[in-house]
Amino acid sequence: MARVDLSTELCGIRLSNPTVLASGILGTTKSLLKRVSSAGAGAVTIKSLSLDPLPGHNNPIMVGFEAGAAGTMQGGCAAGFLNAVGYSNPGVKEAVKEFKDLSDVGAPVIASVIGRGVGDFMKVVEGLWGLDFSAIELSLSCPHTPGFGMMAGQNTPEATKEIITAVRTMTRLPLFVKLSPNVPEIGRIAKAAEEAGADGITAVNTLGPGMVINIEARQPVLDFKVGGVSGPALRPIAVRCVYDIYKAVSIPIIGVGGVSTGRHAIEMLMAGASAVGIGTAVYYQGIGVFQEVCREMEEWMTANGYPSIKELVGAVHN
Amino acid sequence: MILEPEIFKIEEVIPESTQAKSFIFRGRIDYQPGQFIMVWVPRLDEKPFSISYHGEDFFGITVALKGRFTQRLHQVKKGDSLGIRGPFGQAFNLQACSEHNESNGPTCVVGGGIGMASLAVLIERLKMSALGGSASGGPVIVQGARTESELLYRTRFKDMMLYTEDGSAGRRGLVTDPLEDMQWRHGFKALYTCGPEGMMVKVFEFARRNRIPLQASLERYIKCAIGLCGQCSCNGLRLCIDGPVVNAETLATLEDFGRFARLRNSQRVTIEEYLKGCA
Ligand SMILES: Cc1cc2nc3c(=O)[nH]c(=O)nc-3n(C[C@H](O)[C@H](O)[C@H](O)COP(=O)(O)OP(=O)(O)OC[C@H]3O[C@@H](n4cnc5c(N)ncnc54)[C@H](O)[C@@H]3O)c2cc1C
Ligand SMILES: Cc1cc2nc3c(=O)[nH]c(=O)nc-3n(C[C@H](O)[C@H](O)[C@H](O)COP(=O)(O)O)c2cc1C
């Protein structure tokens, strides 16, 4: 059989393969984006940018939780992670220096944008005018940063609509909105985003928040006490969210949450995603995870007679 | 212990200098010199430190007084507990050698200030193994500090060459001063260094000129320590997992080495600005 074609398209952006570096993992600097792109990612997303610099929460900002018996959490055994990075970022003005020339990154770069309110979102997007980003992703869904995302009530259909409507007037680039899984009906929010002019949906951000307590110290491990769940434990929820969103809208979806193998990626595509975000799996498999996932997809697609990605997207709905 | 801190009791506190104290914990940790651990004070913060003492059933850290976190650590007493996560990162390679360099001379360890903390266990291992040895045994150790009261481990390693900026102990000057002459006399097999970045730049230039394999332990602001958050990026190198120990070939590719570092909000600033404190 002929070699399978892993390329995919997101709102007119051509990706050589469906893997996308998720926001907040390694996306702080252009050199890291370049490294991830050379490691095989089809597209990369920068760490979310706010209008003003944010120092983020104090450490620990991340903690893993075990899958099996106590003491077995070495290496690959963690069921998932909590993170409460707290959106540390240098603010849009500094970021413009960092990301001024993206032409040599080697893959499309998506700008992730956050704001305390509509005005912030508009100003940050305006601040990025003239740069080589391929798309903008508005993150309305962080569960652990006061003033932003869930903690600012941005994960409702009404707030989503208001923010998208305003930002839509500020950019010619494809506009994605990143949703939280912590809502009763994610399809409704996706629909609101589509109606307000969003070109695509990224789903999902981290789940929760959750808490891990160190029982000897009698304290939550994260300095912010709570953090969003990512990694394996998030995957079935992310898949269900993508499934629901696919039913609700006709714009493309980047499915994110717990993906670390080719099989996981295919599952996400079948649920309805056109591309697949990868974050926490960089811990389990290193930066090589992008290439590895692609290789596994290729193998599976070859063995099972799928010549290209489009035969997979939304396959469970047929 | 990699992904979640484990609580250890402090068994001993050792005053090391006017600026530094060591804290010894009972317990076993699998550690290679050059790696670091994350030390957690609940409700305060969690920061990176090298292991400066290591044995079968104990380990310790040496902490220089800097800002809020290290001030709190300096108040910690015997019997108190701290959370520990790790060890993380790439270790020093004790077998460092290169095709350019067939020297049979000694290895040389160059430490500046608190940088000595991440070299201490390395020195012990080099002394134990035949690898570090010259005919007289062990590596050549050069330690520099601003002034006598800031010198570390003077009774632990009796054979160090000492340099102070004010001449209050050892010779007046910089650790890098004697390197060319010693190289001429001994022909070093390998160099190991940790200290202020300006000092390491000089050691790096010396190593390049003389084609001596070099490994340096760098510092950047570390958060997750497991290679995910991107905070410690230095020209795409994740210091926490691809470093902190890097060799001369890698150093040569790091445009930021000796020049730029990132604050905890990822803003890239000059090293001088970075060192002014970024918390
Ligand atoms: C791999 C590595 C090993 C280290 N080993 C030692 C050691 O053995 N002994 C020792 O005394 N110090 C060591 N440090 C430095 C130590 O982490 C800082 O001195 C300490 O975090 C200062 O915290 P503070 O709140 O007291 O000071 P602050 O006022 O917050 O900071 C003072 C300076 O410390 C550095 N710093 C602060 N927070 C961090 C952080 N999260 N990560 C990295 N650097 C930071 C910055 O240069 C900052 O300008 C090491 C650092 C790294 C990266
Ligand atoms: C350390 C860390 C930082 C993150 N930072 C951001 C962020 O800045 N903006 C954002 O939209 N999502 C952020 N996320 C969420 C991820 O982009 C992703 O949606 C989530 O982790 C689920 O995917 P995963 O299981 O593959 O990690 C972060 C996740 C982690 C683990």
All structural domains of chain B with their residue ranges: 6-88, 107-275
Cβ atoms B203, B194 nearer than 8 A: no
Show which residues of A are catalytic.
142
Which residue in the set B40, B47, B236 is minimally distant from A32, CB to CB?
B236
User: What's residue A150's pLDDT?
Assistant: 86
Ligand nearest to the CA of B73: 1
pLDDT single digits (tens) A205-249:
999 999 999 999 999 999 999 999 999 999 999 999 999 999 999
Instruction: Give the lowest-confidence range in A230-239, A275-284, B133-142.
Output: B133-142
Cβ B233–A286 below 8 Å, yes or no?
A: no
Residue A72: what pLDDT?
47
DSSP structure string for B75-139: H--TT-EEEEEEEESBPP-TT--BTTB---S-EEEEEEGGGHHHHHHHHHHHHHSSTT--TTSS-
Neighbours of B159 (CB within 10 A): 12
Name every chain A residue with its beta carbon within 8 A of the beta carbon of B43. 219, 223
Q: Beta partners for A64?
A: A81
Does the pLDDT value for residue B107 go beyond 50? yes
pLDDT at B279 over 70: no
- For the domain made up of B107-275, give the CATH fold: Rossmann fold (3.40.50)
- CATH 3.20.20.70 assigned to domain A8-317? The reply is yes
Q: Would strands B190-194 and B214-217 be described as parallel, antiparallel, or unpaired?
A: parallel
Helix, strand, or coil (residue A267): helix
In this prediction, residues B188-192 reach a mean pLDDT of 95
Using pLDDT thresholds of 50, 70 and 90, give the confidence band for residue B130. low
Mutate to test the pocket of ligand 1, among B47, B234, B275 (most ligand atoms within 8 A of CB): B47
CATH superfamily assigned to domain B6-88:
Translation factors (2.40.30.10)
Nearest to A28 among B2, B227, B233 (CB): B233
SS3 (DSSP) at A218 = coil
Looking at residues A166-192, what average pLDDT do you find? 96
* Spacing, Cα B67 to ligand 2 middle (Å): 30
Q: Is the pLDDT of residue A67 over 80?
A: no
A232 lines ligand 2 (CB under 6 A): no
Test the B interface: residue of A32, A59, A212 with most B CBs within 10 Å: A59
Say if ligand 2 is within 6 A of residue A231 CB.
yes
Average pLDDT over residues A149-178: 94
Over residues B104-122, the mean pLDDT reads 95
Q: How confident is the model at residue B110 (pLDDT cuts 50, 70, 90)?
A: very high
Q: How many CA atoms lie within 13 A of A246 on its CB side?
A: 23
Report ipTM for this prediction: 0.94
DSSP string, B182-200: HHHHH--SEEEEES-HHHH
Mean pLDDT of chain A, nearest integer: 94
| Structure-token pair, residue A68 | 């099996």
What pLDDT sits at residue A73? Answer: 47
Tell me the CA distances in angstroms from A212 to A84, A205, A206, A224, A233, one per residue in order: 12, 19, 15, 11, 14
Burial grade of B63 (CB within 10 A; 0-12, 13-18, 19 or more): buried
The pLDDT, as a whole number, for residue B96 is 67
Report CB contact under 8 Å: A54, B266: no
* Res A121: pLDDT: 96
pLDDT of residue A153: 87
Cβ(A155)–Cβ(A161) under 8 Å?
no
What pLDDT, on the 0 to 100 scale, is given for residue B163? Answer: 97
Q: Is B279 in the pocket of ligand 1 (CB under 6 A)?
A: yes
Instruction: Using the structure block, give the residue that is written with the tokens 């493309």.
Output: A252
Mean pLDDT throughout B4-29? 95
Q: Is the pLDDT of residue B131 over 60?
A: no
Beta strands A227-230; A207-210: pairing state = antiparallel
